[in-house]
Amino acid sequence: MHTTVEEVAALVGGRFTGDVGNTRITGVASVGDAQKGDITFFGNPKYLPILRTSRASCALVPEGFDEPITAIPIQVANPSLAFSRVVEQFAPAPVLFEPGIHPSAVVAASARIGEGVSIQAHAVVEAGAVIGDHCIIGANAYVGHEAQMGADCHLYPNATIRERCTLGQRVIIHSGAVIGSDGFGYETVQGRYTKIPQTGTVKIDDDVEIGANTTIDRARFGRTWIGEGTKIDNLVQIGHNVVIGKHCILCSQVGISGSSKIGDHVTLAGQAGLVGHIEVGDHAIVAAQSGVSKDIPAKEIWFGSPAAPMRDQKIILAHQSRLPKLHERVKRLEEKLAGEKAE
C-alpha cells in the first residue's frame, strides 16, 4: 500500500507547506527506524536530535513546530494520535469474528444471548448469564452464573468473569484477566486464618479496558467498582471494595488494597502500591514505584516510598544527594576541632 503527503494531511486534519503533496508514503516507522518512504511522528522532545537526522520522508509534528528537519513536516494537534490513524491505513485488516456459537462452547440453556454475539471454541457461559448484542467471547473464556455484559464487549481468550459481576457497554477484557475473584479476607480464630465469605460483586462501567492477567477482586459485600472510561494495564491487582473513578489510568503492576477510593482522572504509574482504606483525589498523579500510605488531595503529584508531595520529595532528594559532601565537611570540622583541643 502507498499514499501521499497530501492524502495523509487530509486524513489527520494536518497542514504542510510547499509543493510536496504528491510525495509518496509507503510505510510507517518509529523516528529512529524510519527510511525513505516512511512516515513517522514526533511526540517527545527527547527524540528531537534523532528526528533531525531521520531518513523518514514525512513526520507528523505538533502545531507551531519550526525546527529544521529533512522530513516533510505535517503539523497536527496530536502527533501520536494522528500517527495511530495513519498506522491503521497500513495495518492488516482486523480479525473479524462471525456471529454464532462454536460447537465446542458450553452455553447454559437459561443464559440470554443477544444478537450478533460470537462465542468461540471451548468458551463457557453459565446459567442466568446475560450477554449483550454483538459481544465477542473468546476461546476458553468463562462467563459465570448470572454475570451480565452490555453490548459490544470483547472478552479475549482465557478471560474470566465470575458470578454476578456486571460489565457495561464496550468493555474490553484481555487474556488471563480475572474479574470477581475472591477478596483477600481472613480473620484469626484460635490461631488459624478463617476465610470471610466474599459475597459482593464487581461492577465495570462503559468503555473500560482491562489488561492481560489483571485481577479485580469481588467485594466482601456491596461492590468493587471501576468507573467509566478507565484504562487498566496488564498485571494490576485491585482489592475488594475498591472504587475507581472515571477516566483513570492504572499502569502495569499497580496494586490497590481493599476499600480504597480513587477519584476521577487519576494516574497511578507503574508499580505504585496503595494501602487499604485511603482516598486519592480527582486528577492526582502517583509516580512510579511509590508507596502510598495516606490520603492524597486532588490535583497533587506524589512520589516516593512512603509517598509524599513531589515538591517536598524533590527537596529531600536534593539534600540526600549532598550528604556525601556534608559528611566530608563534618569529618574535616571534627578533625580540626580535635586538633585545636590537643593544642
Using CB atoms within 10 Å of the CB of residue 274, give its burial: 0 to 12 exposed, 13 to 18 middle, 19+ buried.
buried
Rounded Cα distance, 50 and 37, in Å: 17
Q: Which helix (H) or strand (E) holds 313?
A: helix 310-321
Using CB atoms within 10 Å of the CB of residue 332, give its burial: 0 to 12 exposed, 13 to 18 middle, 19+ buried.
exposed
Name beta bridge partners: 75: 15, 61
Cβ pair 75, 93 in contact under 8 A = no
Residues with Cβ within 8 Å of residue 179, at least 6 apart in sequence: 159, 160, 161, 162, 165, 167, 173, 202, 204, 210, 216
Helix axes 310-321, 323-342, angle to 10 degrees: 50
Name beta bridge partners: 255: 237, 273
240 is an active site residue: yes
Q: Which one is catalytic: 134, 154, 174, 240?
A: 240
Q: Give me the sign of the Cα torsion angle 66, 26, 24, 81.
A: negative
Q: Kindly list the catalytic residues.
A: 240
